[in-house]
Amino acid sequence: MSQIPTYDHVDTYLKVGIEYDCSDIHLATNSPPNWRRFGNLQPIWEGAEVLSADDTHKLVHSFLGEDQLAILHDRGDVDFAYQNADGRYRASVVRQRLGYDIVFRIISTEIRTIDDLKLPKEHIVPLTRYHNGLILVTGSVGSGKSTTLAALVDFINKDRNDHILTLEDPIEYTFDSKGCHVTQREVHTHTESFPRALRGALREDPDVIVVGEMRNLETIQLALTAAETGHLVIATLHTGNGPRTLDRILDVFPTDQRDQIRIMVSESLRGIISQQLIPRADGAGRELALELLVNTAPVAATIRDGKTFMLPGIMQTGKNVGMITMDESIKNLFQKGLITKEEAYFRAEDKKFIESFF
């Protein structure tokens, strides 16, 4: 018989997650309570009983308000920012065949700086000092995009005297106005959608617009227009590297618009930061593998000509402006003994390149 009780309120599980430095808590029907710690999903307690449909039903009702319950009832899923005495979370609840699944992303209340994250400051800071253009932060779910985005916003907030407007779904990190005036809007709470918020944004006299995620054609189109019309736009995308990010942006547009969009992107892009978080060889946390693409004249010409497959070669010769490919970054981590051979091979794009260093 398990000695681990099943708790009636999600806050008990969240407290444990914060205490043990987890990124996510999973409470799913027909599964024991799980956490994601240093990138690995595993049970919080060995031998804990699985959560029944009744358990997850109770947990859902322990923290959802009437509005969220109504959306869950109508749509079958709901996601929003949840806050309790211990911290802030990105909460997602879905109804599935067996019952409810609840997932929390634990949002660190402490905004980490560019230095804390060991980002290449001398090459990233110049990107933030443009008064227009597009900076993209990309990576898969859980790769630390929100943390990097927050570090960039925090730096701009201290470095400039401007108006920063963030559009997020949901708001994760909260910013106090420092050198800049910061306005934060949450999609579905303060505005209906990213496109609507972006259209409204242009009337609010912002200098810097932060878009939580460029999800669809309309959002991408509006972000590019904003970048072209005198705003610095910083946005995230779920793509693995620079060339793939550019392909993804172009692919959402109808074929007859792509030539025009290539020109827009080649002129407005400032840089693409792509990242992965890789488990450390010693098991004590994760290391950041970072790719940086800076828009130089050769990069712009390649984008304009639709030859993104040539970008890795150009990046190899752009080290003086900080350019580095993801594979090069992974190789550096492996050679320093920070990640294992298996992780390096698994994460690399060009397996033969990585193998040559084993």
The confidence score (pLDDT) of residue 2 equals 46
CATH number at residue 167: 3.40.50.300
Q: Which domain holds residue 166?
A: 121-355
Please tell me whether residues 91 and 172 are part of one structural domain. Answer: no
Report residue 41 as tokens: 């999903």
C-alpha of 104 from chain center: 15
Nearest to 281, CA basis, from 39, 43, 117, 35: 39
Q: Are residues 176 and 282 in the same domain?
A: yes
pTM > 0.85: yes
Please state the φ and ψ torsions of residue 140, each to the nearest 5 degrees. Answer: -75, 175
Q: Verify that 227 and 346 share a domain, yes or no.
A: yes
Kindly state whether residues 215 and 313 are assigned to the same domain: yes
Which CATH number fits the domain that encloses residue 37?
A: 3.30.450.90
By the 8 A CB rule, do 26 and 36 touch? yes
Give Cα 322 to chain centroid, integer Å.
22
Per-run averaged pLDDT (10 residues), the chain, 358 residues: 75 95 95 92 92 96 95 94 91 96 91 95 97 96 92 97 92 92 89 86 92 90 93 95 94 94 97 96 92 97 95 93 96 97 95 93
Q: What SS3 class is residue 77?
A: strand
Contact indicator for 331, 265 with CB cutoff of 8 Å: no
- Report the distance separating Cα 96 and Cα 224, nearest Å: 37
200 and 86 co-located in one domain: no
Number of domains in the chain: 2
pLDDT tens across 32-70, in order? 999 999 888 999 999 899 999 999 999 999 999 999 999
First-to-last CA distance in the chain? 48
Rounded distance, CA 171 to CA 9, Å? 23
Helix axes 217-228, 194-201, angle to 10 degrees: 20
Instruction: Identify whether residues 78 and 148 lie together within a single domain.
Output: no
d(CA 304, CA 277): 31
Nearest C-alpha neighbor of 83 from the set 105, 61, 59, 111: 105
